Amino acid sequence: MKVLAGSAGGETRRQGWLFLALYALCYAGGVIAYVPLLTFLLPIKVEELALADKVALLSLATLAGALVASVANILAGILSDISVRRGGGRRPWVIGGMIATLASYGVLHLCRTPASLIGGVILFQFALNFMIAPLMAIAADEVPDSQKGLLGGLFAAAYPLGALAGIVVTAFPRLAEGGQFLVVGGLVLAMTLPFLVVMRRPAMIREAESASPDRRRVGRGNLALVWVARLLVQIAGSILFAYFLFYFETVDREGLALASRELAGKISWLSGASAILSVLLGVVIGRLSDTSGARKPLLAATVAMLTAGLLIMALMPQWAPAAIGYVLFSCGVGAFLAVQATYAMHLLPSPLHRGRDLGVLNLTNTIPALAAPALAVALVKVDDFGPLLLILALLTALAGVLILMIRDETPDLPVAGDRAAPAPDERRTGKFHLRQA
């Protein structure tokens, strides 16, 4: 496999729309692999096995899965880093993780006791993260910094697709559990295989001069700031998305007497509209961050948007303002998480450990699931979510400040043609180059 030569600061080849589209589709396949399962299929399975203790069993299975996911994501990242250094690339790990994930569906289908179900969830989370962790690192390796913002915007479409897959799976009540798992597995295969088959040739990494200790220290500091900022936003998102139905039950609905199911219907439309808007916003902000280079201000703007939404919901608990506040919050969170994911790739201090570092950043997805319920219980009063929402607004405002504290070099704007300006991470670390094989 031939590697194009280059020096520090040399150009890296921009990826075409086919690569970006197939990669985003593959990433969406990874999201579909877990959203319908964790949202619909697992709770239904829990009810079948332990109706009287369904809350305890679901909580225990979710907790065990989150802990395993945290470890597996980092481990998969480290192993894929080793493969890259040896010239093997990350794609074999993605393929192996995908096959293991599909196999875990069969194991979950065969579970007949609560203990076996917990074991099945553990197996699923382990396999899933061996698929997703190296897949994310592929983006860090092979998409130049001048296109990472756009890719992050495309990521925003993955979560609505995951929710849509859940609707498809549950749309036919007569479809047995085995058939539902087959539908999910078929969707995962259909969305992941095109990238893995068409884009088989990975980028290669060649060693260059070592980074200075000062630059390595700045890189680690940047990662710490990104990690904490994302954690704070994820905590706010985990709490609000889990309890937003209960919140809307407490607001003044302007004389409308709605039962819980009717209210849930109205809120589902609100959530759907927010999801569509967040996708559009994520793509626009991602592309704008590529062309302008103003990544930090744009990310800080999304944090300001979601913080404003929380404040509106806390201070004006009437239906119309609360709905507007929720849309602002939902759109801000969606755009922030999508674009921040690829912005973090831009800040990684060394290509040698991209998989590992992204695995550590992934802890911001699992820790909130453990911390959010305790915070909600401590702060929510009867029919009054105001104190909780104000605390969450404070946390997200702090996240915005942390984003602005990141010390990174502003990338040059992309030049015309199919080549980009020197990648900022290459100029900053000077340690490795990526070249498309």
Number of neighbouring beta carbons within 10 Å of residue 60: 16
pLDDT by residue (tens digit) across 3-60? 333 333 334 467 888 898 999 999 999 999 998 888 788 888 988 898 787 878 887 8
Of 46-55, 190-199, 289-298, the range with the highest mean pLDDT is: 190-199
Give start and end residues of each alpha helix (H) in 251-259: none
Residue among 167, 162, 325, 318 at smallest CA distance from 236: 325
Return all residues near 165 (Cβ < 8 A) that are at least 6 apart.
32, 35, 36, 184, 187
pLDDT by residue (tens digit) across 94-149? 999 999 999 999 999 999 999 999 999 999 999 999 999 999 999 888 888 888 88
Helices 319-347, 354-361: axis angle to 10 degrees equals: 160
Residue 274: burial class (beta carbons within 10 Å; 0-12, 13-18, 19+): buried
Give start and end residues of each alpha helix (H) in 89-176: 91-110, 114-142, 145-155, 158-170
* Cβ 41 vs Cβ 58: under 8 Å: no
Return all residues near 393 (Cβ < 8 A) that are at least 6 apart.
307, 310, 311, 314
The model's confidence at residue 315, banded by pLDDT at 50, 70 and 90, is very high
pLDDT by residue (tens digit) across 233-259? 999 988 887 677 678 877 775 655 555
In sequence order, the β-bridge partners of residue 381 are 384
Query: How is residue 357 written in tokens?
Result: 């570092």
Query: How is residue 2 written in tokens?
Result: 């031939």
Beta-strand relationship, 432-436 and 203-207: antiparallel
The position carrying tokens 């409308």 is 256
User: Is the pLDDT reported for residue 430 higher than 50?
Assistant: no
How large a percentage of the chain has pLDDT more than 90?
32
User: Is the pLDDT reported for residue 206 higher than 70?
Assistant: no
Rounded CA separation 316/296 (Å) = 30
Instruction: Report the mean per-residue pLDDT for the chain.
Output: 80
Rounded CA separation 423/45 (Å) = 48
Element (H, E) at 204: strand 203-207
Rounded CA separation 151/143 (Å) = 8
* Cβ 175 vs Cβ 183: under 8 Å: yes
The model's confidence at residue 275, banded by pLDDT at 50, 70 and 90, is confident
Q: Coil, strand, or helix at residue 175? A: coil
Same fold, 17-146+157-211+421-436 and 213-404: yes
Residue 268: burial class (beta carbons within 10 Å; 0-12, 13-18, 19+): exposed
What pLDDT score does 426 carry? 41
Element (H, E) at 205: strand 203-207
Query: How is residue 351 written in tokens?
Result: 């290509």
User: Is the pLDDT reported for residue 410 higher than 60?
Assistant: no
Rounded CA separation 94/90 (Å) = 7
What pLDDT score does 341 carry? 80
What pLDDT score does 212 carry? 58
CATH of span 213-404: 1.20.1250.20
The model's confidence at residue 340, banded by pLDDT at 50, 70 and 90, is confident
What pLDDT score does 210 carry? 47
The position carrying tokens 């006791």 is 113
pTM: 0.76
Decide yes or no: CATH 1.20.1250.20 for domain 17-146+157-211+421-436. Answer: yes
Rounded CA separation 223/237 (Å) = 21
Distances (CA, A) of 343 to 137, 147, 226, 250, 268: 13, 10, 9, 37, 30
Question: Residue ranges per domain, the chain?
Answer: 17-146+157-211+421-436, 213-404
What pLDDT score does 417 carry? 38
Rounded CA separation 361/228 (Å) = 9
